[in-house]
């Protein structure tokens, strides 16, 4: 699909499976001119940042930014501190330690600021409530509330920009996300999903993220292009 120059989108692109699919949806299916943004926030799975660069380039994003945000200074998450990443504990009743306090609130705020500078009114995020791990900042009510807040708290918003937070994967399970991505040309070998990869980048195969990724490919009768232990 040709790019629609009248619609610009900032896509939150971590380098993982979901965000890569969200970018493919925005650029290939919607034809939007896409700008991508990733965050170096002190995450232990730092390898995802290189993946974000490769995925952004693959889908010919207009610009890609990696912004440093020191969430290690806040802590409170096994992704940004010395807490152990939970393994083989999916579907627990409590919010897991991989929750990073207010992460999507912070990231969407910075994405909105970037959107103002490039004239974009779409913020695209790969949030999901079907196979998610209980994160409160992935819920549709949070995303709807944020869209209202950014319209009130930005120059573009008060001047009439109609900001929208778009979460195209919100109600899809992992297999449906992968099926969509494959139909749009996503090479999942470029993506990185593991919360606690080995030193060489190999996924651990046991964290929540690895579990859902493996389950999604298996449900489609396909093999994940990444090697799991």
Q: What is the pLDDT of residues 172-202, one digit of tens each?
A: 999 999 999 999 999 999 999 999 998 888 9
Residue 9, strand partner residues: 34, 122
> Domain spanning 4-219: which superfamily?
HUPs (3.40.50.620)
Mean pLDDT of 79-105: 84
Going along 73-192, which residue ranges are E strands?
Answer: 122-124, 164-166
**Distance (Å, whole) CA 21 – CA 39:** 18
pTM: 0.93
Work out the number of other CB atoms within 10 angstroms of the CB of residue 15: 24
pLDDT band for 4, please (50, 70, 90 cuts): low
Domain ranges of the chain: 4-219
């Amino acid at each position: 699909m040709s790019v629609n120059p009248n619609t610009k989108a900032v896509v939150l692109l971590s380098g993982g499976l979901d965000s890569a699919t969200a970018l493919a949806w925005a650029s290939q299916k919607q034809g939007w001119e896409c700008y991508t943004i990733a965050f170096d926030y002190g995450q232990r799975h730092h390898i995802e940042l290189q993946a974000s660069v490769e995925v952004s380039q693959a889908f010919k994003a207009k610009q890609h930014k990696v912004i440093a945000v020191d969430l290690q200074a806040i802590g409170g998450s096994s992704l940004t501190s010395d807490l152990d990443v939970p393994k083989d504990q999916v579907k627990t009743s409590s919010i897991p330690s991989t929750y990073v306090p207010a992460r999507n609130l912070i990231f969407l705020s910075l994405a909105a600021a970037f959107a103002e500078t490039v004239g974009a009114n779409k913020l695209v995020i790969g949030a999901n409530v079907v196979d998610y791990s209980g994160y409160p900042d992935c819920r549709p009510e949070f995303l709807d509330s944020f869209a209202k807040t950014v319209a009130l708290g930005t120059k573009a918003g008060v001047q009439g920009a109609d900001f929208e937070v778009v979460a195209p994967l919100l109600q899809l399970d992992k297999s449906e996300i992968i099926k969509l991505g494959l139909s749009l040309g996503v090479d999942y070998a470029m993506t990185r999903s593991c919360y606690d990869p080995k030193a060489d980048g190999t996924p651990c195969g046991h964290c929540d993220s690895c579990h859902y990724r493996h389950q999604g490919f298996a449900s489609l009768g396909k093999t994940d292009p990444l090697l799991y232990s």
